Copies of this chain bind each other. A is one copy, B any other.
Amino acid sequence: MSLIENLKEGCIPSEIKKIALNEKIDINILLEKILSGRIVVPKNKIRSDIFCAGIGEGLSTKINANIGTSERSSDIDKELKKLSVLVKAKADAVMDLSTGGDLDTTRQEIIKHSPIPVGTVPIYQAAARAKEKHGSFEKMTKEDIFESIERHAADGADFMTIHAGVTLSTLEKLERDGRIIGIVSRGGAILANWMIQNDKENPLYQEFDRLLEITSEYDITLSLGDGLRPGCIADATDKAQIQELIILGELVKRAREASVQVMVEGPGHIPVNQIYENIKMAKELCDGAPFYVLGPIVTDVAPGYDHITAAIGGALAASYGADFLCYVTPSEHLGLPSVDDVREGVIASKIAAHAADVAKGVSGASDWDLKMAKARSVLDWEKQIELSVDPEKSKKIFKRNNLIEDGPCSMCGDYCSIKMMDCIKT
């Protein structure tokens, strides 16, 4: 039975109780929100012993880190190293976006070693197989697609990105209105390319019920991909993007009717002044389904620093109601991330998520800040380092130029405001 079916029968799995406890949320509210689709808990039926994340309304903002090979870099060990780094940096989920090397083994190894939910994008493998078998992406068959979905499901994927909203009608909007950068979603481009070359509707849209049967069988959470997300801020919030979102909203309804957990993916690239509308619109059109954004990046001009442009957008998006942030690394727009980039990306995303949680009043979020403030007010450096989002880095910077453990730091020395004001108190 799926989680939803279990809950309907009044049976509450232990991981759900754990979430209620960790998130300091009333269990009945949690159950009600899972049942109404406002919270999802991605976990494949065949997976055990994973640390489940609740994603959605009222819970702390979760973050996902993408890893995976490409044709030019397909070392499984390197990807497993990234996995271990992102888990240590406290990502809540990981996605395997591999497109190079042995896709099956890579995915299986990542799932095997991941203590957190794993997401995949089966269309990549379908395309790869088509290239292998028939020589090109566009010769991919419907069966290639569903076979790949079955395979990922059977391997234990906890959630899957499915670009079912790239339809002939959305492509028509795209073509009519034009864009600076057409399609930047790999999955979206594979499908659009296939649809145009073969003059056919998207099989994932057309056979959505078949998809629901598979995800239902394994209790996989659907993540409805935004294949037409904007690829630069000038393209943000355009007709193609919103047309696709409307379709995703309809698919949310169908997934819920089949007791399949579902979330919705969103941009991407959005300027600061359009983030509020994007989040509210997505929540409205998708009936409160958990909203999973990629960044969003708030300017196009900072390759090398897109963990920062994404932290700005992510903090804002999550404070307005986005539930799940996909990290962006300093390598974004330039190449595959290194192990260090993965770490930087996760930490920047964690900061954005936490800043948003404080802003939206998530239960207990600001306690962390309060503890830090109290440690700071008494110049307790050990405690400040221990409480910081990355104790290793803060310790390194502190040690670099401070020899005194219980006094003011090298920035102010005797001019330390805390020390000065302390003199008055005593």
Where the two chains meet, the residues of A that have a C-beta atom closer than 8 Å to any C-beta of B are 70-73, 99-100, 124, 127, 131, 137, 180-186, 188-190, 192-193, 196-197, 231-235, 271-273, 298-305, 307-309, 311-312, 315-316, 319, 330-336, 338, 347-348, 351-352, 354-356, 358-360, 366, 368-370, 372-374, 376-377, 384-385, 387-390, 393-394, 396-398, 400-402, 409-418, 420-421, 423-424
Contacts and interface: CB of A to CB of B under 8 A. Distances in A.
Contacts of A390: 302, 304-305
B272 A398 contact: no
Contacts of A366: 233-234, 271
A407 to B, nearest CB: 10
Contact of A272 (B190, B316, B418): B316
Given A302-B389, A333-B376, 4 more contacts: A127-B415, A183-B417, A232-B373, A308-B311
Nearest to A377: B181
Nearest to A351: B302
A410 B69 CA distance: 9
Contact of A355 (B312, B401, B415): B312
Nearest to A312: B315
Contact of A412 (B99, B235, B301): B99
A368 B301 contact: yes
Contact of A185 (B100, B180, B417): B417
Q: Which of A181, A300, A421 has the most CB of B within 10 A?
A: A300
A316 B311 CA distance: 12
B413 A301 contact: no
B388 A304 contact: yes
Give the interface centre of A197, A235, A272 by most chain B CB atoms within 10 Å.
A272
Contacts of A301: 351, 354, 368-369, 372, 387-389
Contacts of A412: 70, 99, 186
A336 B408 CA distance: 11
11 contacts: A99-B412, A186-B417, A190-B420, A233-B366, A271-B359, A272-B358, A273-B359, A305-B347, A316-B316, A331-B411, A335-B410
